[in-house]
Structure 1
């Protein structure tokens, strides 16, 4: 792409497969009703925003799930299993792609995440790919629960731009959520909506002139 020197990648459904429908079904099995309003791709209960910004702890998140389900007897394991059912996995080719992109651009990761998912993902990467973290694949990886901010709010994009002295006009943001794309555009970022599955990341990058 012309004039692009920096790329900020989202994680879920860009690099790593996630499935909201599986998590919805898992939460319904725990007893949660009105699932489309409670947890979906484009909207969800405030509980999830609070957890993704580190405003509440894992134990407080789990208690929120118990309250929503009306089942105080739910165990931590039951709740974590339901929540982590969102996470599907990734492929080695995507890690290779990230290294290839990093040779041409300054690259960053910006993910709405939370402590339970983060721990699961790190354990998965270690077990599956012998990767301890994403330090080798990006100049810096940003996670919402560490920043106390989340997408699509403009302040999270502004922090990444400021900390790394990035010109938004020279920076591309790639995400699978339309609302996050709109947030990025508000601070002047170029943005691409990822409409393919992570397994097609390479084709997506090539089709958009990134590789």
Structure 2
């Protein structure tokens, strides 16, 4: 890509491996019916949108799961364990890759996230890597639960562009979800669909001449 000065990264399945099937299985075991319609890569119940935009609290999210499962005796821990089963971990040497990329571009993180997942991820980063956040790897990290917006809403991309004085013509957004790519395009960004496992991030960036 020519004239790219800024890269906005998604997190899940770009830097950090996640597994929707594991979570579908875990939610099904809690008693969620029609789990493929309830939670999937390309679509999900409104409950998840509400949680990822900070419209509801973790307690309200858990109550929503109990109601859908029709099991009001599910514990917080059971629900959190099922929900966090999505999260696998940072793939390969992706932290080193991010530092390499940061030497050449202004870099940002834009993740649809939620309080339960965020807390798990921060604890994981502290335990396995010894750092508390992503300040060393990005100029700024954006999480949907802090913005009241989520991808693919073009407004969340426009916010990142405006707050950091980024020219969309000089900025590329990388995500594994086609619907999020479409939202970024509406905001005028260049886009790349991450169609390989996140352990191949370095090769993916090289393939597209960003490294």
Which bracket does the TM-score occupy, shorter chain normalised? Answer: over 0.9
Residue 166 of structure 2 corresponds to 166
Q: Do structure 1's residue 9 and structure 2's residue 9 form an aligned pair?
A: yes
Q: In structure 2, what is the Cα distance between the partners aligned to 1:92 and 1:85?
A: 19
Residue 44 of structure 1 corresponds to 44
Q: Where do 5+ consecutive residues of structure 2 fail to align?
A: none
Q: In structure 2, what is the Cα distance between the partners aligned to 1:208 and 1:60?
A: 42
Aligned with 1:173: secondary structure?
strand
TM-score (norm 2): 0.99
Q: Where do 5+ consecutive residues of structure 1 fail to align?
A: none
Q: Do structure 1's residue 88 and structure 2's residue 88 form an aligned pair?
A: yes
TM-score (norm 1): 0.99
Q: In structure 1, what is the Cα distance between the partners aligned to 2:36 and 2:91?
A: 29
- 1:23-52, Cα deviation, whole Å (9 max, x unpaired): 000000000011111000001000000000
Q: In structure 2, what is the Cα distance between the partners aligned to 1:64 and 1:13?
A: 26
CA contact (8 A) 2:9 2:174 kept: yes
Q: In structure 1, what is the Cα distance between the partners aligned to 2:131 and 2:138?
A: 13
Q: In structure 1, what is the Cα distance between the partners aligned to 2:151 and 2:100?
A: 26
Superposed CA RMSD: 0.6
Q: Do structure 1's residue 62 and structure 2's residue 66 form an aligned pair?
A: no
Residue 185 of structure 1 corresponds to 185
Quote how far apart the aligned CAs of 1:91 are. Answer: 3.6
Aligned with 2:103: secondary structure?
helix
Q: In structure 2, what is the Cα distance between the partners aligned to 1:131 and 1:206?
A: 27
Residue 157 of structure 2 corresponds to 157
Q: In structure 2, what is the Cα distance between the partners aligned to 1:121 and 1:181?
A: 24
Q: In structure 2, what is the Cα distance between the partners aligned to 1:151 and 1:12?
A: 13
Deviating above 4 A after TM superposition, structure 1's stretches of 4 or more consecutive aligned residues are: none
- 1:67-121, Cα deviation, whole Å (9 max, x unpaired): 0000000000000000000000014610000010000000000000000000000
CA contact (8 A) 1:92 1:129 kept: no
Residue 24 of structure 2 corresponds to 24
Residue 116 of structure 1 corresponds to 116
Count of aligned pairs? 211
